[in-house]
Structure 1
């Protein structure tokens, strides 16, 4: 599967390596396109997954703010609930990124 925006692949991995949570596909960190992502200052804590980390994507000279997010250290109960360890996996904003 691929995460694509503006014709650029942000991440690519077989579906078997992805984790689906609340309708979002989470890609393993190794599947991200190198050099595209930088840390965002956005802070958010999910009530059941824990503290999130957001990323901006830079494509050419354009920056997509908060294009993706991950949970570097999700709560243990969240990992049990999901049935897979999704630590560091990255999901993308469906308003700007298409996953196919």
Structure 2
């Protein structure tokens, strides 16, 4: 699977986990030069607390375009250490 934003591959892995319709990439499959921390946080009743990240590619920023769950709920344990991408980021095979 690949995650592409602004014409740039920001993550690539054959080891994604699909949870609630979203592909979660291993954190080390996300290219760190395109990921910036965000102050945004949320709480999901199913997955637990989420931390957001901003994508930054070629001078363009997409705030809160990615998220992770450092301490997911037991039901979402499979997404620990993984990052998913939101609207505007194309996630596809190959």
TM-score (norm. length: structure 1): 0.86
1:11, 1:60 → 2: CA distance? 16
Query: Counterpart of 2:88?
Result: 96
Are the equivalent residues in 1 in contact too, given 2:43–2:49 (CA < 8 A)?
Answer: yes
In structure 2, the gaps of 5 or more residues are none
Q: Kindly report the root-mean-square deviation, in angstroms, between the aligned alpha carbons of the 2 structures.
A: 1.0
Within the alignment, does 1:53 sit opposite 2:82 as a pair?
A: no
Question: Greater strand share, 1 or 2?
Answer: 2
Query: Counterpart of 1:86?
Result: 79
Query: Counterpart of 1:82?
Result: none
Give 1:88 shift. 2.1
Trace 1:65-80 onto structure 2 (pairs within 5 A).
Answer: 65-79=63-77
Give 1:76 shift. 1.9
Give 1:78 shift. 2.7
Give 1:77 shift. 3.3
In structure 1, the gaps of 5 or more residues are 80-84
Task: Return closer, same or farther for 1:22/1:87 CA change in 2, 3 Å cut-off.
Answer: same
